[in-house]
Amino acid sequence: MKNIFKFLFLVGILFTSCEDAYNVAPDDEILEANAITSVADLEKAALGVYGFISGSNLINYSSRFTDDLRLPADNRGQGVQVHTWNITAGNGTTTSLWSSLYNVISRANRVLNVIDGISANTPEEELSKSRIKAECIGLRAMCHFDLLRAFAESYEDSNSVLGVPNINSVVVFEQPSRNTVAENYAFINSDIEMAMGMLDASFTDNTRLTTTALSALKARVALYQGQYETAISSATDVIGAVALATTTEYVDIWTDASDAEVIFKLKRTTGDGAVGTIFQDTNGDIFFFMSDSMLNHVFDNSTGANDPRFGTMLDLPNSSFEEPVVGKYLGTDANPGLNDIKIFRGSELYLIRAEAYARSGQFEMAAADMTTLRAARGAAETTSYSSEEIALFDIIEIERRLELGYEGHRYFDMRRQGLTISRSETDCEAAAGACSLPSDDFKWIMPIPQAELFANENMTQNTGY
């Protein structure tokens, strides 16, 4: 009898379920259910959205693809595929451009998905909530626009041109097809309007999206879209709010010592990716030199000693005519190549407005903006235009290339203008025969990534790939 009790007792021990073995608490994990439950969490999530923005990949592609850089003979493969237009649907650079932009969009959408359910306890929190919502919507617009610029068949505001999928909610298993470019513009502009309506003008942190930054984005979109009146009015809003940098301030912008005319920049600190490594490795190995074509452009078109751009485009102490080193992103001694990434600067708005004026026949207004901008860079002469062609050549091919060099614009400007890349003999010496790319070549449009086509039955590839 005693044994039976002993037996039953032990059977009891044996089958006592030890639930804590398989029901484990997520100690150092943040699960979705408890990730965002307060406005403070929303603030963290908003920072997270910014943290996903690469910023440098457009600068990378634009610089390496076009005629702004020269491949040295001892480059060991870094960026060679893009530079020599050896681009297929499997290309890593274009794939990561696509995926990182949609990464930001998906993170923004996940915040937007929960934000209305988070209650604000104070007026300050209410204000924060509304700001965060505006930032997420604004960033969503900015990323969609970058996707459009890179992957759309053209920039024509038309329903017969394929753009990119508009993603305005959390998707996982969905297989979205491409929207038209007109639908993209409509979606982007509506997001911008929505964001502007929610964002308080008192928020002026230029490492975040502000009303000024949204206006700048609106102007940039309108220029691509061909909505020149909007471009002019939005650019005017920004120009009214942001003064151009002085020549001394201008130099300091590139060491991040000055925020003059910097409307929106991505803050970069130790541990973040160094944008300067597009051009040279942190150990000093040069991946790309400034191209001879760009070097000549800088010499011919800047105002010489007075022009601060001379010394920022080039790393003068370490450059020679044979080996000109790009100087815009030199970082610090401790962190070579690590600089904030400027998304919008005041000068771009002058260039946008000038171009919009020129395209709508207002040459004097266009020339006036150019004169203002050039004066700020140390020039004494005034600019004047006699025709749209002359004006656009001067604004886009001369001044934008110089003023916005290595800031991620050249590739898009050439696409907008239908320009041909023709590298000089010296520039294409080591470029495996990649010397000329006609404006009608299919490689001007980035391929939809192979990984996307693989996973998404409704996706269509751009022509040629």
Partner 1 sequence: MKTKFSVVLTLLLVFAVQISFAQQKTVSGTVTEDSGLPLPGATILNQGTSKGVTTDFDGKYSISVSEGATLVISYVGMESQSISIGTSSIYNVTLIKDVSTLDEVILVGYGSTSKAKVTGSISTISSETIGQVPIGSFDQILQGQAPGVQVFSGSGQPGAPARVRIRGNGSINGSSAPIYIVDGIQITAGDFASLNANDFETVSVLKDAASTASYGSRGANGVILISTKKGNYNQKTAFTYKTQYGITEVGNAPFAMMSSREILEFQRTVNSGAGAGLSDEEITELATTNTNWKDVFFRTGITQSHEVEISGGDDDSRFFSSLSYFDQDGIAERSNLQRFTIRTNYENKVNSKTKFGINTSLGFSKSNFISSENAIALQNPFAAAYLAQPYQSLYDDEGNIQTGPGFTGGNSYEELIKNGNNNQQVKIIAQGFFETELMKNIVFRTDLGIDYSQDNFIDFSGPNTYYGGIVTPGGEGDYGESNNYNSRLTATTKLGYSNVFNEKHSVDVSLFSEYYKQNFRSSGFRGYGINPLLNGYANGTTAGTPENELIPTIFGGKTVRGLFAAFAIANYDYDSKYGFSASLRRDASSKFSDKNQWGTFYSVAGRWNISNEEFMSDVSFVNNLKLRASYGTSGNQASVADFAAETRYGQISYGGVNGIGVASIGNPDLKWETSVQSNIGLDFDLFDYKLSGTLEFYDNKTIDLFIDYSLSLTSGFSSLQSNAGSMRNSGVELDLNYTVINTENFSLDLYGNFNYNKNEILDLGQVSEFESGTSIIREGLSLGSHYVVGWAGVNPANGEPLYYDLDGNVTNVFSDGNATANWGSSNPEYTGGYGLRGTLGNFDFSTLFTFADEYYRFNNQSFFQENANFSQFNLSTVMNTMWTQPGDVTEVQSYLFPRQFSSKDIEDASFTKWRNLTVGYTLPSKFASKTNFFQSFRVYAQVQNLKTWTNFTGFDPEDDNNIAGYEYPMPTIYTVGLNIKF
Residues in 153-212 that interact with partner 1 by CB under 8 A = 165, 167, 171-176, 207
Is 48 or 311 the residue whose CB approaches partner 1 more closely? 48
* Smallest distance from partner 1 to CB 148, Å: 14
* Smallest distance from partner 1 to CB 223, Å: 26
Cα–Cα distance, 215 to 329 (Å, whole number)? 26
131 binds partner 1 (CB under 8 A): no
Instruction: With CA atoms as reference, report the closest residue to 459 among 169, 57, 157, 98.
Output: 98
Give residue 240's identity as a one-letter amino acid code. Answer: G
123 binds partner 1 (CB under 8 A): no
Give residue 163's identity as a one-letter amino acid code. Answer: G
137 binds partner 1 (CB under 8 A): no
10 binds partner 1 (CB under 8 A): yes
* Three-state secondary-structure class, residue 341: strand
Interface with partner 1 (CB under 8 A), residue total 85
* Smallest distance from partner 1 to CB 30, Å: 4
Is 101 or 391 the residue whose CB approaches partner 1 more closely? 101
114 binds partner 1 (CB under 8 A): no
7 binds partner 1 (CB under 8 A): yes
105 binds partner 1 (CB under 8 A): yes
One residue of 119, 201, 387, 454 binding partner 1 per CB under 8 A:
454
Is 25 or 380 the residue whose CB approaches partner 1 more closely? 25
Is 123 or 433 the residue whose CB approaches partner 1 more closely? 433
Cα–Cα distance, 388 to 272 (Å, whole number)? 43
442 binds partner 1 (CB under 8 A): no
Please enumerate in sequence order all residues whose Cβ is within 8 A of that of 208, keeping only pairs 6 or more positions apart, or say none. Answer: 50, 135, 264
* Smallest distance from partner 1 to CB 213, Å: 15
Q: Where in 267-296 is the site for partner 1 (CB under 8 A)?
A: 267-271, 274, 282-285
99 binds partner 1 (CB under 8 A): yes
DSSP letter at 392 equals H
Cα–Cα distance, 262 to 301 (Å, whole number)? 23
Please enumerate in sequence order all residues whose Cβ is within 8 A of that of 2, keeping only pairs 6 or more positions apart, or say none. Answer: none
264 binds partner 1 (CB under 8 A): no
Burial label, 353 (beta-carbon count in 10 A; 0-12, 13-18, 19+) = buried
393 binds partner 1 (CB under 8 A): no
Cα–Cα distance, 211 to 135 (Å, whole number)? 10
* Smallest distance from partner 1 to CB 174, Å: 7
* Smallest distance from partner 1 to CB 430, Å: 10
Give the CA-trace dihedral at 213, 348, 342, 149, to 10 degrees. Answer: 80
Q: Where in 317-356 is the site for partner 1 (CB under 8 A)?
A: 332-336
Instruction: With CA atoms as reference, report the closest residue to 290 among 200, 378, 406.
Output: 406
Is 79 or 405 the residue whose CB approaches partner 1 more closely? 79
1 binds partner 1 (CB under 8 A): no
Cα–Cα distance, 215 to 115 (Å, whole number)? 24
One residue of 1, 22, 116, 305 binding partner 1 per CB under 8 A:
22
* Three-state secondary-structure class, residue 286: strand
The residue length of the chain stands at 465
